[in-house]
Structure 1
Amino acid sequence: MVIMGGIYSCSPKKDAFINRNYQAVVTEYNVLFNGYNSLNEGVEALDNEYQDNYWEILPIERLQLSEAIILPGQESNAYFQKAEEKAVKAIQKHSMMFRNREKNPQIDEAYLLLGMARYYDQRFIPAQEAFNYILYKYPNSDKINQARVWREKVNLRLENEELAINNLKRLIKLERLQDQEYADAKATLAQAYINLQHKDSAVQELKIAATYTKKNDEKGRYNYIIGQLYLQLGIEDTAIMAFDKVIDLNRKSPRIYMINAHIQKAKLFDMRQGDKNVLLKTLTELEENRENRPYLDIIFRQIGEFYVENDSLEMAESYFNKSLRTNSSNKHLVALNYEAIGEMKFDEKAYKLAGSYYDSTLTNLDSNTKKFLSLKRKKDNLDQVISYETLVQTNDSILKLVSLGEDGRELYFEEVISKLIAKEEEEKKQKQEEEANKRRATQPDPFFRNPNAATDLSQQGESFYFYNDVTIAYGKNEFRRLWGERELTDNWRYSKTTVVPISDVVDLETKVDSHEVPKEQLYSVSYYEDQIPVRQGAIDTLVMDRNYALYQLGLLYRDKFAEYPLAIERLETLLVMQPEEKLKLPAEYNLYKLYTLLGNEKAAVYKNNIVTKYPESRYAQLLLNPNAIFENTENNPEQVYASIFKEFQDQEYESVIARCDQAVKDYHGEEIVPRFELLKASALGRLNGLRVFSEALNYIALNYPNTEEGKQAQETIDDVLPRLEMETFDESGKGDWKIVFRFNRGDDENIKLLEDRLTSILKEISYSHITFSEDVYSSQEIFVVLHGFQLKENALTVQKILNEHKKYRVNQTSFVISSPNYQIIQTHKNLDVYPLN
């Protein structure tokens, strides 16, 4: 009975002094203590997993939003689940609600813990409910201002920035806040301004937050963000001052902030007026400081950037590679390193190697970013260059051998075979010397044998070869280095086949992939002779393919990379080869344009040559009369374009596509070609929908990036297509309404009959303001559409009259649709999923 009385005296069901204090102590030092421990462990785990992107404005709070959908009853983090369970336990078991008043002073903190656990678990609506409960039920709580700040954090996560700003301003103005609460409120307000791109306002709020916060890690982060914001505002001097504040904190805040502050200052360094040696000394000291070892990836990259700015490209590449060898977990940094080396290789004209570095860059970039798409286009263009360059070099090498004749080729191959034999003998001699050196190194000296050494293998332990993993691994690697990969067979040393690259046999400019060649054939001249084409048709094909590749390279270097000297070199090389007429004249015309662009007087030479030798050609006419090109000829590309565009306006999309394809072939290499491609893309989109339109635009942006049409295509991809991607039908009923009649393409007679009847009916029933049109839906179907109904009811009324009224009835079925939904079905060609009425 005594025990039962003691328990009852501490029960939350009795409003007594001892009960209130007992429940408060148990709640605070047992349940909430464990709950906050779990919460802190969860937050620490999030911090350890989170990786800041220092190339963008850092968020105020280090919380990575997950794209996974959390269903009711699911928790994404066990720590936060436990913290929530402790908060719920405190509320359920220790709450003392009497006469609508809470007598346990720790319950409000339990609700705060509950909201924070849900917030970090990214269940923002339930978190907001917990914070709101504190505001409504505990107006006198000492945690109420914290709850208000956390509620606005939730509003930011829910993209309610304007509401959060208003609430925070009211809180700061009307309430008396403690320093840390004031700092948190100002920092949250700054994040709202950052989200809304009000960077100057965000700076002012963050300055106050950095002053009032008691946490040095927040001081470092806030000042670093202030520096980033000043950089985006173009105020570099003040940005440097903010970064200096981060550096002055030194070990008081996370070192990563100090390192990146140094990096930002290095990026802002004036290479023309500043002392470069001072900057290099600072970066070197950062590199040599043992405390900075976890951040060497960032430091090495910046040193590489320093050498790029000073044209020390070998040193720059060395440091970019050093940064890569740190195995950095920062994928964006890794991508930048690969891209930097790729750009250097591209400038060195090592296109194949540059393409490999671009590939590595793309694997480390987010595929949804503009940078990825831009680099992907450049890489695809580069693949074309590599393909054509390889074709030119390979065909040139083969044609050189063809030009030697039989006697010349025989002498050449005999010399190659002699070099091959000498090389093999030298390698065999080197291997024998290495084996002898290894045997001498492993044999013990009998005169200096240790008398105490164990003679029994079991006593030698790991000193014996097969018991030492390191020695075994070394032996395996040495075997592979000396002998390559060998099968376990008899006489394995004397393999009947060997892998020999063609480039070792024939001294060509390009390296050809290796392939297996029987060893006895390697020393036979006939083996190599048999691989050289002798038929004139095969040789002519090699010449034509080489010439076409040279012409394409000229256009690629000009249009896609703006490498005008390279474009000129390829086109002039083509002319030296005496190409066929269909390439010679366009090549000369493009050389004229390139030299004109560069302001070189050789443009006049090519112009004179075209006008003199080809006076009747389109190119000569274009040069002689650029303001009235082919005004009276059927081959005028401007007139052809105007004619095709007229068909586009008349919705003759199949004809537009076919004629644009032909025009691209007819005017290949001329400036008007991208216009035909863009018109074709529009026709494809109207006929086949958004996906095909998007593919066509990507092709234009990829193949004509430096033209106005290419830039227009890219702008459409970036700005217009995202707004058209929505396929969900609008149920709000916004916009005007249409009545749509469906016909097969080519059913012109019935379409004309319907239009005549509709004109008469609409006039008679006082709907003369309604207009109609013929809209192509697909290659098989066309719509007759009545436009202009302000209300759905009006459209349904007219539809009912046309369906049921004896006098006005039409035989064609129809459906009613709003303008937004009509746009969706025309954009995505998804009428099959629209609920027809």
Structure 2
Amino acid sequence: MKRLHKILILLTVLVTVLYSCSTQKDTLVSKNFHALTAKYNVLFNGEQAFQQGLKDIREQHTDNFWKRLQIEPITFDERKIEAPKFNSPGEDFNNKQEENKSATPFDRAEEKAVKAIQKHSMNIKGYEKNRQIDDAYLLLGKSRYYTQRFIPAVEAFNYIIANYPNANLNYETRVWRAKANVRLGNEETAIQSMKLLLKVVDEKEEISKEVQEQAYTAMAMAYTETDTIQKVIEHLNNATQTFINREQSARNMFILGQVYSELNRKDSARMVFQKLANKKQAPVKYRIHANIELVKNSAKDSSDVLLINRFKKLIKNTDNRKYYDELYYQLGTLYEDRGNTKKAVEYYKKSLTAKDGSNYQKTYTYERLGNLHFNKQDYLLAGSYYDSVLQITSKEFDSEKRIRRIRRKNKGLTTLKKYEDVVKNNDSILQLVAMSTNERTAYFESYIEKIKKEDEERRQQLLNSQNFGNQFGGGTSFGNNKGKWYFYNTQSKGFGEAEFQRIWGTRPLEDNWRLSDKTAINSNNEIAEEEDINKSRYELATYIEAIPTDPKILNQLKEDRNDALYQLGLIYKEQFKNTGLAIKNFERLTNLNQKEELKLPLNYHLYQLYTEVGEIAKATRAKEFILQNYPNTRFAEIIISPDKKLEAIEEKEDEIAKKYKELYYLYKNYKYEEVVNQINTFSETVAKSDLIPKLALLKALAIGKYKSKEEYKKALEFVAFSYANKEEGKKAEEIIKLLK
């Protein structure tokens, strides 16, 4: 009986305690129990998950300091993120585990916030008695915000504002609601609510400095979306006055400087960046980039010397290693601005080799190097640097105006390289053809001796460094650069790699790697042939037999070279405005040219170029050649009347267009000979028209329909050379290539 009595007493006490802790019991014990349980159990775990989510966001987000930063450093996933689904009682536990595996930290934080509300809310007669529930709703709203569910987030924030008007986090909640509205595109609503918070509320009760910072930041976000730049400046200024949240305040200050720079208010930008660079409370990345922005906004005067010294000091600090690519680059720009291109190139190359350098930074470095060589007329090397820019540019930045400009520029340089290679290669072959047998033999014997000596020196270096007889006799530590084992000796390994690549090139790691053609895998002769490639380099016959002797091949080499010279002259004249190189190529072609159809355009281009550089005698000679031999051409008319107004010619355009349609109709009706005859007659009466190239191409196409291939090719070549920069000239060039 006594034992039963004790059990009943214990049960009674337990029931009493549980009843006193009921969510519907307005007692001190119940309120404290649920408040403490919610805060130190459920919400604590939720807050930990939320902080982990923020950490993940910071790690995933990458700032591009070349562009204006986002005020809120978040990279949202463009895909829609759905709400987490929680299993109801009775559902398969394994399914729940699978869902939880894919849940984000913010999903887990939301789950904890919901749990705190469901199990610990003490809403008695319309009044919430648990002081932790407003925190739970705020955590719920913030978690939804970071999972891009902004409407449910606003609902959570509205609940707090409506039901907890006196809560200590009410004002902070209003800021979060404003940010959610900005994300939803309701900028005006966000602005009005922040104005009310900062002006009306502040008159009745003082708002904390931290909340003021957040409110001004939210206002700047809203005005950024409305493109009200002056208001953005005003609120960013206000947000940086107290510097309580160091990360966000430094960010706001940096963005403020960027905005001033965009508005070309360089003095204001320098003041902001100078202040940020010297602010020890600011995170390092903002201070470093503030120094970089000082260079971009510098006045290009004696202050450059101070900046150079400052950057050298920053580079000496090894804590700044992760920023070396940017620091070296800006140091290079400072030297380039001072005219010291040698130093500039040195630092640009250091920027490219800096560890952990970003590809986007490298695009600017390669562009600078390309521009330097382009300005020195080293076009081929400039093209290589522009190629590098395009190769490392990601799709994200591929449509930038700067990248599009480089692509256009590089397209011309690629064409230039193609024609320069043709001229160089064909000149070399034709030079060998022109040599006597003894001269060729002496030339190639000298070349073979040279490569033998180079190969022997390389081989000797490799043998000296490897010491194969002792390479396995007692190893040393992995860190010792002079270890006896081959792969521990970095110098030996480097020589070995170089020798392997010289002989075999770059081969993938696979079976039968020595064979470039795997279809020959069963042929021992193929293997032997590949291994003997190196020996053939030392045989005189290898080179002598490669020299062409067929007259057709030699004539084609000359034609291709002359064509390349003409195209080079046009590129230098029209695209790169390099008068000297244009004249050089045109003059050389004049001495080599055998084609009648090239004489007119060549002399006309030279007449223009000589006039431009003030070589009057040469210009007069080219002018007289055109007027004497081609008096009825468009070129002659332009030379005779360079300032003549084109009204008369423009009046004829409609007539010429009408005639072109008639001729094209005849062409479509297979009357090719009539088309050619009419164009010959009509062209003599037309002094100048934009349709002349079209008529010339139509004539060439008609000739190809009823005359020989040679005559067709000759007509196309006239169009290609005379109108090389026109669509018709390019089309003719394409047809010629197909004919070849």
The TM tier, using the shorter chain, reads 0.7 to 0.9
Measure, in 2, the Cα distance between the counterparts of 1:114 and 1:227: 35
Equivalent residue for 1:7? 18
Give how far 1:284 is off.
Answer: 0.9
Give how far 1:349 is off.
Answer: 4.1
Q: Which of the two has greater strand per residue?
A: 1
Measure, in 2, the Cα distance between the counterparts of 1:87 and 1:289: 45
1:536 aligns with 2:551: yes
Give how far 1:675 is off.
Answer: 12
Measure, in 1, the Cα distance between the counterparts of 2:458 and 2:418: 38
1:386 aligns with 2:417: yes
Residue among 368, 384, 399 paired with 1:368:
399
- Residue 586 of structure 1: SS of its match in structure 2? helix
- Check 1:556–1:65 CA distance in 2 against 1; reply closer, same or farther (3 A cut): farther
Equivalent residue for 1:266? 295
Give how far 1:7 is off.
Answer: 2.1
Measure, in 1, the Cα distance between the counterparts of 2:275 and 2:692: 53
Q: Percent identity?
A: 33
Residue among 358, 376, 380 paired with 1:330:
358
Measure, in 2, the Cα distance between the counterparts of 1:462 and 1:614: 78
- Residue 299 of structure 2: SS of its match in structure 1? coil
Measure, in 2, the Cα distance between the counterparts of 1:620 and 1:458: 83
1:98 aligns with 2:127: no
Equivalent residue for 1:167? 193
Measure, in 1, the Cα distance between the counterparts of 2:545 and 2:129: 101
1:30 aligns with 2:58: no
Give unmatched runs, 5+ long, in structure 2: 1-10, 86-99, 505-513, 517-529, 669-674, 695-724, 728-740
Give how far 1:460 is off.
Answer: 12
- Check 1:644–1:67 CA distance in 2 against 1; reply closer, same or farther (3 A cut): farther
Amino acid at match of 1:554: G
- Check 1:422–1:104 CA distance in 2 against 1; reply closer, same or farther (3 A cut): closer
Amino acid at match of 2:72: E
Equivalent residue for 2:311? 283
Amino acid at match of 1:49: Q
Give how far 1:82 is off.
Answer: 1.7
Are 1:461 and 1:467, in contact at CA under 8 Å, matched by a contact in 2?
Answer: no
Measure, in 2, the Cα distance between the counterparts of 1:130 and 1:437: 72
Pairwise CA RMSD of aligned residues? 4.1
Equivalent residue for 1:700? none
Residue among 30, 33, 39 paired with 2:50:
39
Give how far 1:521 is off.
Answer: 5.2
State which drifts further: 140-149 or 239-248. 140-149
- Check 1:381–1:426 CA distance in 2 against 1; reply closer, same or farther (3 A cut): closer
Q: 1:446-475: CA deviations, max 9, x gaps?
A: xxxxxxxxx9x8999999x99968527665
1:17 aligns with 2:47: no
Residue among 27, 50, 55 paired with 2:66:
55
Measure, in 2, the Cα distance between the counterparts of 1:282 and 1:628: 60
Measure, in 2, the Cα distance between the counterparts of 1:349 and 1:410: 38
Residue among 236, 244, 247 paired with 2:277:
247
Equivalent residue for 1:142? 168
Equivalent residue for 1:180? 210
- Check 1:10–1:292 CA distance in 2 against 1; reply closer, same or farther (3 A cut): same
Give how far 1:83 is off.
Answer: 1.3
State which drifts further: 91-100 or 555-564. 555-564
Equivalent residue for 1:748? none
- Residue 298 of structure 2: SS of its match in structure 1? coil
Equivalent residue for 1:507? none
Residue among 582, 593, 599 paired with 1:567:
582
Amino acid at match of 1:386: K
State which drifts further: 412-421 or 237-246. 412-421
Measure, in 2, the Cα distance between the counterparts of 1:92 and 1:308: 66
- Residue 240 of structure 2: SS of its match in structure 1? helix
Are 2:52 and 2:105, in contact at CA under 8 Å, matched by a contact in 1?
Answer: yes
Residue among 159, 165, 169 paired with 1:133:
159
Residue among 423, 426, 451 paired with 1:395:
426
Residue among 100, 108, 122 paired with 1:82:
108
Are 1:206 and 1:222, in contact at CA under 8 Å, matched by a contact in 2?
Answer: yes
- Residue 632 of structure 2: SS of its match in structure 1? coil
Amino acid at match of 1:188: A
Equivalent residue for 1:122? 148
Q: 1:185-222: CA deviations, max 9, x gaps?
A: 11111122223332222111111111134122233222
Equivalent pairs counted in the alignment come to 620
Q: 1:42-88: CA deviations, max 9, x gaps?
A: 21222233221212222221111222332454898722122111111
Measure, in 2, the Cα distance between the counterparts of 1:43 and 1:632: 71
Give how far 1:333 is off.
Answer: 0.9
Amino acid at match of 2:597: K
Give how far 1:543 is off.
Answer: 1.7
Are 2:471 and 2:486, in contact at CA under 8 Å, matched by a contact in 1?
Answer: no
In the TM superposition, 1:312-461 aligns within 5 A as: 312-362=340-390, 363-365=392-394, 366-404=397-435, 408-421=436-449, 423-425=451-453, 427-428=455-456, 431-432=459-460, 435=463, 439=467
State which drifts further: 577-586 or 54-63. 577-586
Give how far 1:300 is off.
Answer: 0.6
Measure, in 2, the Cα distance between the counterparts of 1:384 and 1:159: 48
Give how far 1:623 is off.
Answer: 2.5
Measure, in 1, the Cα distance between the counterparts of 2:559 and 2:726: 32
Are 1:223 and 1:245, in contact at CA under 8 Å, matched by a contact in 2?
Answer: no
Amino acid at match of 1:574: L
1:151 aligns with 2:177: yes
- Check 1:541–1:258 CA distance in 2 against 1; reply closer, same or farther (3 A cut): same
- Check 1:96–1:621 CA distance in 2 against 1; reply closer, same or farther (3 A cut): same
1:108 aligns with 2:134: yes
- Check 1:546–1:440 CA distance in 2 against 1; reply closer, same or farther (3 A cut): closer
Measure, in 2, the Cα distance between the counterparts of 1:132 and 1:204: 28
- Check 1:643–1:145 CA distance in 2 against 1; reply closer, same or farther (3 A cut): farther
- Residue 32 of structure 1: SS of its match in structure 2? helix
- Check 1:22–1:603 CA distance in 2 against 1; reply closer, same or farther (3 A cut): farther
Equivalent residue for 1:298? 326
Residue among 284, 303, 309 paired with 2:337:
309
- Residue 193 of structure 2: SS of its match in structure 1? helix
- Check 1:295–1:520 CA distance in 2 against 1; reply closer, same or farther (3 A cut): closer
Measure, in 2, the Cα distance between the counterparts of 1:675 and 1:26: 88
Give how far 1:285 is off.
Answer: 0.9
- Check 1:211–1:531 CA distance in 2 against 1; reply closer, same or farther (3 A cut): same
Are 1:355 and 1:383, in contact at CA under 8 Å, matched by a contact in 2?
Answer: yes
Give how far 1:620 is off.
Answer: 0.8
Measure, in 1, the Cα distance between the counterparts of 2:295 and 2:157: 44
- Residue 241 of structure 2: SS of its match in structure 1? helix
Give how far 1:237 is off.
Answer: 1.4
Give unmatched runs, 5+ long, in structure 1: 445-454, 488-496, 500-514, 653-658, 677-706, 710-837
1:592 aligns with 2:607: yes
Residue among 220, 230, 236 paired with 2:260:
230
